[in-house]
Amino acid sequence: MTMTTREEKRSKVTIHFAGDSGDGIQLAGSQFTLTTALQGNDLSTFPDFPAEIRAPIGTVAGVSGFQINFGSEEINTPGSNPDVLVAMNAAAFKKNIRNLKKGGIIIANEAGFDKRNLRLAHMDESVNPLDEVRASDYQLYRVDITKLNREALQDLELGMKERDRSRNMFALGFVYWLFHRNLDPTLQFLTHKFQTDPIVLEANIRALKKGYHYGETIEAVKRYSIESAKLKPGTYRNIVGNQALAMGLIAASQKAGLNLFYAGYPITPASDILHFLSRHKNFNVKTFQAEDEIAAITAAIGASFGGSMGVTATSGPGMALKGEALGLAVMLELPLVIVNVQRGGPSTGLPTKTEQADLLQAVYGRNGESPIPVIAARSPSDCFWVAFEASRMAVEYMTPVIVLSDGYIANGAEPWRFPKSDDLGKIQAPYFSGKEEYLPYKRNDKLVRSWVLPGQEGLEHRIGGLEKEKETGNVSYDPENHEEMVKIRAERIARIADDYPALERIQGPPKGRVLVLGWGSTFGSIKVAVRNAISEGLEVSQLHLRHVFPLPNDLGDIISGYDQVLIPELNNGQLSKLIRQEYDASVTAFNKIQGLPFRADEVLEKIRELHGA
Amino acid sequence: MTMTTREEKRSKVTIHFAGDSGDGIQLAGSQFTLTTALQGNDLSTFPDFPAEIRAPIGTVAGVSGFQINFGSEEINTPGSNPDVLVAMNAAAFKKNIRNLKKGGIIIANEAGFDKRNLRLAHMDESVNPLDEVRASDYQLYRVDITKLNREALQDLELGMKERDRSRNMFALGFVYWLFHRNLDPTLQFLTHKFQTDPIVLEANIRALKKGYHYGETIEAVKRYSIESAKLKPGTYRNIVGNQALAMGLIAASQKAGLNLFYAGYPITPASDILHFLSRHKNFNVKTFQAEDEIAAITAAIGASFGGSMGVTATSGPGMALKGEALGLAVMLELPLVIVNVQRGGPSTGLPTKTEQADLLQAVYGRNGESPIPVIAARSPSDCFWVAFEASRMAVEYMTPVIVLSDGYIANGAEPWRFPKSDDLGKIQAPYFSGKEEYLPYKRNDKLVRSWVLPGQEGLEHRIGGLEKEKETGNVSYDPENHEEMVKIRAERIARIADDYPALERIQGPPKGRVLVLGWGSTFGSIKVAVRNAISEGLEVSQLHLRHVFPLPNDLGDIISGYDQVLIPELNNGQLSKLIRQEYDASVTAFNKIQGLPFRADEVLEKIRELHGA
Amino acid sequence: MERNGTAYSSKDFSSDQDVRWCPGCGDYSILKQMQTVLPELGINRKDLVFISGIGCSSRFPYYMNSYGMHSIHGRAPAVATGLKAANPELSVWVITGDGDGLSIGGNHLIHALRRNLDINILLFNNEIYGLTKGQYSPTSELGKYTKSSPLGSIDHPFNPLSLALGADATFVARTVDRDPTHLREVLKRAHEHKGTSYVEIYQNCNVFNDGAFEPWTDKKQRDANSIILQQGQPLVYDGGNKGLRLDGLKPQIVDLTEGFSQSELWVHDEKDATKAHILSRFFNHEPGPDKFPRPFGILYSEDRFTYEEAMQNQLDKALELQGKGNLDELIRGKSTWEVE
Amino acid sequence: MERNGTAYSSKDFSSDQDVRWCPGCGDYSILKQMQTVLPELGINRKDLVFISGIGCSSRFPYYMNSYGMHSIHGRAPAVATGLKAANPELSVWVITGDGDGLSIGGNHLIHALRRNLDINILLFNNEIYGLTKGQYSPTSELGKYTKSSPLGSIDHPFNPLSLALGADATFVARTVDRDPTHLREVLKRAHEHKGTSYVEIYQNCNVFNDGAFEPWTDKKQRDANSIILQQGQPLVYDGGNKGLRLDGLKPQIVDLTEGFSQSELWVHDEKDATKAHILSRFFNHEPGPDKFPRPFGILYSEDRFTYEEAMQNQLDKALELQGKGNLDELIRGKSTWEVE
Ligand SMILES: Cc1ncc(C[n+]2csc(CCOP(=O)(O)OP(=O)(O)O)c2C)c(N)n1
Ligand SMILES: Cc1ncc(C[n+]2csc(CCOP(=O)(O)OP(=O)(O)O)c2C)c(N)n1
Ligand code: SF4
Ligand code: SF4
Ligand SMILES: [Mg+2]
Ligand SMILES: [Mg+2]
């Protein structure tokens, strides 16, 4: 390899970093993300953790991946087939090579392809797969990262193991060189991270720089430059979904003038919300790690009763446990936010994979008639808005609200033109005005009861899970009263839809052949697919639901403008069921249940199919 | 009152017994039921317990009721407006008088209408409401039961309190006289019940007989005779729903050659199933009172894993707690029966009242794609058949099966032409044949895996809630495998519908204007309503679903034969949702959410309305 | 949560709802003593909250003129934990039954005890499921015949005080519905204890389990069968006729009428965990002359920081370390860039 | 469940699945010792069942060539209860973690202990949530810094052995992953005990909580910090240098090198509940010379009827009283009538 380096401009690149769980892939990925964001590209990322078990080193089960899609154009998904594969060992190569685009780049750590690693990856020990890569298929960089890195750190007082820990920085450095990335953000990050350990800091910095310089040394074939994206003007930051969600909760509590009380029980992929909030106690946030999910939600209910904003988050199995308490919250009519960061089910299922299969559980998973609004986030940054909106609804309408996120957007990242706190609407709790006699279940014109907190003199009252008399809230077994209360509870939730903003079509004509209707995390893939379909000349539009229950009032009208409604979902057709039961529409369910997000081309293909193409 | 007694024939009579919780109303009611059944009438009963609290004596909240509808014609409901009201006190009178048919009979215990009782019933103390009853409106018997009864027992060595305890027998005796009932069954019952307490026995016998003779003494206005019903020939018994359900479980376990393992946590109105089974340990029934509903279902799963027929029963709030474990059962593919005896919701709701509002919870209330068959009982005796059928499905298809009953049929009774054990089909568990290599998740042509029990040599294997590799059942995170497994699990449940018997119309033409489609306990009311509508000349048919999930394959065809489908439900329209989402039909939901069953005339009125009448 | 100004009377704590327990139920007495003792406790009514689960006993909050929540079965300790942690100003009382608290709710109970919020948990133990009409409970004695155990219960019952001690409760006491003075005294001590006070109250269910506690309530038997614990006092019972001493680890009953000196007796020390352990094990279901008397009063009491204090300290510490949270800074994060 | 015929080797208990714990995890050692000791226990493999919940530790059943179920979080004791009650022939082992068994599953655990089925519950205590990547657990020490407690945990931890004793467990023991011989010995005793055997196993999570048990595993420290309990033997530790005695209820450390005689020492008696209680309270999180050593071995063991026996007895009794159930008679009931 002694060609001279050429330069090429690209509008979009997808890189997949892969290596053993211990190889620091997630760190390298998130550094690349940050650097790229700061260089002004639009981007979307998707970490692909190994399944919850810690698999033995070197095995395919133990491969950790991180994919980033970035460019000068609008980016909506982490990309389907990567242009670049960084493979730290044979298992990482084996797992990901089939996805790599033809003509793509492989950066392979030579030392990870020895007999031992081949054996661990259950590959033929006698053939180094790198020898089999044809130059016509891929651009292969075989780099003995382990060796080069060790050499670079020779003089440092570090054990072999500790030296090898900075291999990820070496690889990252090389990728930075290939894509003209700026080293500074990562250098700053390392300096902060290892401030108490100068030797390790030195090792990492050297590794990063050595990797970068390695590019120059070998005169690699091509370097790529990607111009900044033409994003809406403004100030941006990079944001991960779960972080955004937690921040949305904090923002809402501040805007509502309430203390945030978060009760959770760890569960993948929701735990990071607990972790984040527990680091932000200076926002008057109390976090409570409960003994289980039932204790978490009931403690949150207790906190709401006491005048805080009670919140709990979990994933599918934990959500199943909260059903009974959700019914209580329906009866109490207190603010409560319940977040379900969905993962692959049923049962323990695929804990580290993504899915949208808890929608019907959210809408119907309780005994009795117990309607609860359900809203879903569409992207990492949208988690902020959805958390904020759910909190607002919970407080202003005095109701539990379920937020659906999923593993894909919870762990994914994207640039975010974040709002100013002043631009966030104020949230007004319906406190009792004190002007008339206080009846706990007397309602305003939106059928919302007023809120009185323990500690308020003279307004002592009792609430509970038995059916209540209409206004007084006293226990009542009267038949007509029960029917009336069931209807009121249904109506008050239904009426929330009256306050939704009008639905906005994302793209495509207002009437036509095909409407692609989505909800939740499929937004990005659908957006790319529909954009491409339109550019192919197909008559197709995109609509995306934030509020999945109650459905928006204007949805029926919009749907009726199209011959067909295509509903892509990462489940076996759950929104399709809800739509069919409400509207007279020709619905085509398009389902993927692989623990993975849609690739845009999968959706595009389906759109073509519906056009008879 | 010195008229001579006349005789009148009636084809149908509805009697409502009412008194304080302590008045022995339920006992009187069940004795009347048994006697009437033995006299060959068709009948249907409905006990109306006071709400779970034990209200203070004499209050309306403390009134216990028991209604029986019996006759020489076919009886399908406990009747709407009673012909006879037995009121042991003012509160019982106050609560029930408005339902009594014009011209009906009131039997009032004079002592229960003194000032104290009027006060307790929150009635005007200065007016005895019995004085206000106009002879043109009702036939009133004012009987000083308390006094007469005390007098009759004067010479017995019993305290006043204990004497008063047999007042119910006095009242019952009088009713027996009025309706020509045979005293023997009750005399036998008393003799058995009080075998160890001869004085109490004597008191009860005397009270019963005194009440009977009282009729003669006062020369009451009219006696009524009701001929035996023209029921299908055969041997009959009287049966209560929860008993029937428990017996169905025992029968199924015997027919399957399995031990029954029942795990339950007490909850109204399901507890009687536990009580019944715990008295039948001589059928190799093990009953386990668990610490909560989650322990109950998981213990049942453990028992099924061990080779028993695992069963658990509960009601709404308990069902909500079982959601997570249901998902596990879906993954394990083991036999399991889960009974939900529904009650008024949401949350604790109306625990002693009936409702059908847990249907969507049964169908959708779990995380992930986790289909479970759901079948529903239509009457007290049908609880037997549904329990048997659910057990058969669970064992033969290796799946959890949800049974829906409700408080109305669980506590209600009817005559039952019971089957011989030989006529019950055999249940064949899909045990591993041993002929080929054992793979835990290898399936037969119905997609059912074979069953191997711990204790079988050489077939040791592990199962669990993580996604599994297709045939081996080993843990698998493979995307395509997951999709395939989700589809297989859906398909194997969907295919159960292929084995359903063809749907049978209950009455009415095979095509026409209106189809009344019901499920569960509303069967009887709908049947009467449709019969009456037909006799009024309306074009209406009745279809009733036993299998609510998956829906029968032939349902769509049948539905399409009618202009309109009327779906009466004791909820806010849940089956309606399922039907709308599956079929293109003009569905009218007719809902009652009062904790009470439909009255036939309510449904009839709705049918008329649909006919534009 | 202290009240200034005019004093309350017990009536101030009665709500307007009809009390709907069975006539004769022991719950009435507990309600009455609670309403009677409250004016002495100096709690401002506006800060008083009762949280219950489901059961006859759990109807209690409806009858109290205070804030209250009748939650769901078994979860009251968790609801109370959230409430108290969120709002430490409140005086929070959990009302639970032997089924609610020890069967379905056992886990929340033991976790509440170890966490030690400053709340009071009153467990109305009637050794039966009352509301569901008479099944055996986790405290029903072995062999008990009930609707769900027609051949007798085979479940070894919990010892509710041993369990609490095992869960590191900081205040463990027992009292009984039929002894109003003692009941009020224990309620008062429970209130005064800073930390989770766990009080088992023997409560007669005269409908489904009448007489379960007769050995300790019946005038004729109770003196011989019960011992009233008093801090710093020797363990004497049976009208002064009997006492307890310790022989090493072994407790012994001694006859004080036979000249045994009081000075050799075991002196009650509610701070001594081992003594509390031994006392909690006086748990024979059918007492008799050679059996140890059932102890009533405060078996154990320990000072330990409360959960809500520790939680608040962390908020203070976070303020100190991180400064008051600034929403704009939070949203902006550490690295941003401009697009023009 | 005893096996006749050829003996097993440890390999016979290895399943064909790759073991997927982190390299260096203490779980490996426990797995190995289990597989090593099983051939000695005489259990027929076909009757051997492992039931677990969710957690790193709960993957255990997949690696055992036996019957097994990886159930849901916290519910393994309930699954095992149903399994053993339904099928008493089986040798049932519950594998659980400190989160699985003491957090979400605490209630099932204590109920299993009081019921006393003849099962073995092995609680792998690594004082952390491993599988969810490092949050504090109900056994994490106060002040512990974890992902969910960045300012230190404020939850007073459970003492897992005290809790079990409080729940009336009939067999309570402690052992540690790093002492294979002791581990095997305790597993054997657990198997032999008829009733629920509760074994806490200290297990190092080298990824999220490395070194949590160093005071009791590190060669240099462990002798001074641990005491190995042996039935009937005096409590001696630190290589024979130190011993324990009882002064009334109070345990004391005595220096055996200073001429203190062994005969005055506390003699271990696993049948003595009070002694077990005191031993379980040797639970100081940071041991030191004046602190009591952490006990390993069987703290307590008691004979009590098992639940499944009692259940079977009732079936037998029902047979005796009611005769073998006849389905037709059941369905027919007591009163019937004919319609012609
Ligand atoms: C989830 C759930 N399961 C079961 C029930 C039924 N239930 C109501 S109260 C109760 C037990 C009551 O016993 P206890 O707590 O001892 O209270 P008591 O009535 O004896 O005062 C049960 C099982 C319920 N309400 N909710
Ligand atoms: C209902 C439910 N809630 C939460 C989880 C997530 N979860 C899995 S394992 C675990 C705790 C594991 O800790 P531990 O029992 O100590 O096992 P370890 O991994 O440390 O061996 C949690 C919270 C889950 N799987 N199910
Ligand atoms: S059932 Fe028992 S506990 Fe419940 S109110 Fe009646 S007497 Fe009291
Ligand atoms: S995370 Fe800890 S407990 Fe889990 S496998 Fe790794 S070392 Fe073991
Ligand atoms: Mg009770
Ligand atoms: Mg752990």
Instruction: Quote the ligand 2 centre to A414 CA distance (angstroms).
Output: 30
Which residues 371-400 of chain A have a CB within 8 Å of chain B?
none
Tell me the per-residue pLDDT of B50-99, one tens digit each, with 9 for 90 and over.
775 667 788 998 899 999 999 999 999 999 899 999 999 999 999 999 99
Least confident of A15-24, B354-363, D77-86: A15-24
pLDDT at position A1: 39
Q: State whether D307 and C165 contact (CB < 8 Å).
A: no
What's residue B1's pLDDT?
A: 39
The dihedral over CA atoms of A576, A578, A581, A582, expressed in degrees to the nearest 10, equals -110
d(CA D221, CA D210): 16
Cα D123 to ligand 6 centroid, rounded to whole Å: 9
Name the amino acid, one letter, at A203: A
For D77, the token pair is 């004791």
Give the closest residue to A379 by CA, choosing from A415, A419, A350: A415
Residue in B361, B482, B571 nearest the CB of A593: B482
Using an 8 Å CB-CB cutoff, list chain D residues near B288: 81-82, 85, 311
C-alpha span between B169 and B24 (Å, rounded): 9
pLDDT-derived band at D189 (thresholds 50, 70, 90) equals very high
What's the token pair of residue B175? Answer: 């009713």
Neighbouring chains of A at 3+ CB pairs under 8 Å are: B, C, D
Give the pLDDT score at B4: 64
Nearest Cα residue to C203 out of C63, C277, C99, C292: C99
With CB atoms and an 8 Å threshold, state whether D138 touches C246. no
Return phi, psi of residue C293, to 5°: -70, 150
Residues B215-238: what's their mean pLDDT?
Answer: 86
| Cα B313 to ligand 1 centroid, rounded to whole Å | 15
Contact C127, C202 (CB under 8 A): no
Specify the range with the lowest mean pLDDT, choosing from B209-213, B273-277, B369-373. Answer: B209-213
Query: Residue B53: its pLDDT value, please?
Result: 60
Which class for A299: exposed (0-12), middle (13-18), buried (19 or more C-beta within 10 A)?
Answer: buried
Residues B2-36 have pLDDT tens digits of 456 788 999 999 999 999 988 899 999 999 999 99
The dihedral through the CA atoms of D132, D138, D142, D148 has a sign that is positive
The pLDDT tens digits of the residues spanning B330-378 come to 999 999 999 999 999 999 999 999 999 999 999 999 999 999 999 999 9
For chain A, the domains span: 5-225, 236-423, 430-499, 512-611
What are the domain boundaries of chain C? Answer: 2-237+267-301
Cα separation, A469 vs A480, in Å, equals 10
**Between B271, B291, B348, which is nearest C104 by CB?**
B291
Task: Average the pLDDT over C158-171 and give the result.
Answer: 98
Nearest atom, ligand 1, residue B292 CA: 3
Q: How far is CA B175 from the centre of its chain?
A: 26
> Is the predicted pLDDT of residue C1 greater than 50, yes or no?
no
For residue D222, give both structure tokens: 């462990």
- Residue C63, chain B, CB below 8 Å: the answer is no
Structure confidence at residue A123 as a pLDDT band (50, 70, 90): very high
**Across residues A253-267, what is the average pLDDT?**
98
Q: Which of B344, B345, B330 is nearest to B297 (CA)?
A: B330
β-partners of residue C250 are C247
Say if residue D287 is preceded by a cis peptide, omega within 30 of 0: no
H/E stretch holding C224:
helix C219-225
A465-504 tens-digit pLDDT: 999 999 999 999 999 999 999 999 999 999 999 999 999 9
B61 → chain C, closest CA residue: C20
List of residues 6+ apart from B422 with CB closer than 8 A: none
Residues sharing a CB contact under 8 Å with residue D160, sequence separation 6 or more, in sequence order: D98, D102, D123, D125, D139, D200
Selecting from A51, A345, A477 the residue whose C-beta is nearest the C-beta of B327 gives A345
pLDDT, position B565: 98
Q: Are strands C67-70 and C91-97 parallel, antiparallel or unpaired?
A: unpaired
Class of domain D2-237+267-301: alpha beta
Q: Is the dihedral of CA C41, C42, C45, C49 positive or negative?
A: negative
Residues of chain C with C-beta less than 8 angstroms from the C-beta of A295: 75, 78, 81, 107-108, 111
Asked if the Cβ–Cβ distance from C157 to D274 is below 8 Å, we say: no
Query: How does residue C37 score in pLDDT terms, banded at 50, 70 and 90?
Result: very high
Query: What percent of chain B is modeled with pLDDT above 90?
Result: 89
- Which of B266, B268, B291 has its CB closest to that of C148? B266
Q: Which residues of A touch C47 (CB under 8 A)?
A: 454-455
SS3 sequence of A260-292: EEEEECCCCCCHHHHHHHHCCHHHCEEEEECCC
Q: Outline where DSSP puts E strands in B72-211.
A: 84-87, 105-109, 139-143
The answer to whether the peptide bond before residue B346 is cis (omega within 30 degrees of 0) is: yes
Give the C-alpha separation, B387 to B367, whole Å: 26
> What atom in ligand 3 is closest to the CA of residue C26?
8
Are C104 and B53 a contacting pair at CB < 8 A?
no
The model's pLDDT over A535-591, given as tens digits with 9 standing for 90+, comes to 999 999 999 999 999 999 999 999 999 999 999 999 999 999 999 999 999 999 999
Ligand 4: does its nearest atom lie under 6 Å from the Cβ of D237? no
Q: How far is B294 from chain A (nearest CA, A)?
A: 9
Distance from CA of A66 to the nearest CA of C (A): 21
Report d(CA D284, CA D282) in Å as an integer. 6
Please give the residue of chain C at the shortest CA–CA distance from A326.
C72
- Taking contacts as CB-CB distances below 8 angstroms, the residues of chain B near A368 are 316, 344-347, 349, 355, 357-358
DSSP-based three-state secondary structure for A24: coil
**Centre of ligand 1 from the C-alpha of residue C98, in Å:** 9
Rounded Cα distance between A508 and B61, Å, is 62
Task: List residues bridging with D191 in a β-sheet.
Answer: none
Long-range contacts of B203-207 (CB under 8 A, 24+ apart): B203/B153, B203/B156, B203/B158, B203/B162, B203/B163, B203/B165, B203/B166, B204/B166, B204/B169, B205/B169, B206/B152, B206/B153, B206/B156, B206/B166, B207/B149, B207/B152, B207/B153, B207/B166, B207/B167, B207/B169, B207/B170, B207/B173
Do residues A554 and A520 make contact, with C-beta atoms less than 8 angstroms apart? Answer: no
Task: Give the pLDDT of residue C51.
Answer: 98
Query: Which is the closest atom of ligand 2 to the Cα of A52?
Result: 8
DSSP annotation string for D274-337: HHHHHHHT---SS--TTSPPEEEEEEEE-----HHHHHHHHHHHHHHHH-S--HHHHHH-S-EE
Closest residue in chain B to residue D59, using alpha carbons only: B464
| CATH for A236-423 (3.40.50.300, 2.60.40.10, 3.40.50.970, 2.60.40.1180) | 3.40.50.970
Mean pLDDT, chain D, whole residue set: 95
Indicate the CATH number of B512-611 among 3.40.228.10, 3.40.50.920, 3.90.226.10, 1.10.1370.30.
3.40.50.920
One-letter amino acid identity for A354?
T
Structure tokens at B502: 């063809």
Provide the residue count of chain A.
Answer: 613
Query: In whole angstroms, what is the distance from residue D244 CA to residue D260 CA?
Result: 10
C291 lines ligand 1 (CB under 6 A): no
Identity of the residue numbered B576 = S
The whole-number pLDDT of residue C333 equals 94
Question: d(Cα B167, Cα B150) in Å, to the nearest integer?
Answer: 9
Q: Does C20 touch chain B (CB under 8 A)?
A: yes
CB C70, CB A328: distance < 8 Å: no
Mean pLDDT of chain B: 94
Interatomic CA distance for residues A28 and A35, integer angstroms: 11
Q: Which helix (H) or strand (E) holds B9?
A: strand B6-9
The pLDDT of residue A6 is 84
Taking the CA of residue C167 and the nearest CA in chain D, the distance in Å comes to 5
pTM (2 decimals)? 0.95
Query: Taking CB atoms and a 6 Å cutoff, what residues make up the pocket around ligand 2?
Result: A 265-267, 293, 317-318, 321, 348; B 324; D 54-57, 73, 97-100, 124, 126, 128-132, 137
Question: Could you give the 3-state DSSP secondary structure of residue A186?
Answer: helix
Centre of ligand 5 to C-alpha C127, Å, is 5
Kindly list the residues from chain C whose CB atom is less than 8 angstroms away from the CB atom of residue B271. Answer: 132-133, 135, 147-148
CA of C129 to the centre of ligand 3 (A): 9
Q: Is A302 on the interface with B (CB under 8 A)?
A: no
Residues recorded for chain B: 613
Structure tokens at A158: 């570090």
Residue of A nearest to C316 (CA): A282
A566 forms bridges with which residues in the sheet?
A516, A588
> What is the full DSSP assignment across D134-177?
-B--TTSPTT--BTTBTT---SPPP-HHHHHHHTT-SEEEEEET
ipTM associated with this complex: 0.96
Q: How far apart are the first and last CA of chain A?
A: 45
Overall CATH class of domain A5-225: alpha beta
Q: Average pLDDT, stretch B257-277?
A: 98
Cα B187 from Cα B212, distance rounded (Å): 12
Fold identical between B5-225 and B236-423?
Answer: no
Instruction: Specify the pLDDT at position A2.
Output: 45
**DSSP label at residue A350:** B
**Taking the CB of residue C261, how many other CB atoms lie within 10 A of it?**
11
How far apart (Å, rounded) are the C-alpha atoms in residues B33 and B236? 13
Return the pLDDT at C258: 86
- Asked whether residue D290 carries a pLDDT value surpassing 90, the answer given is no
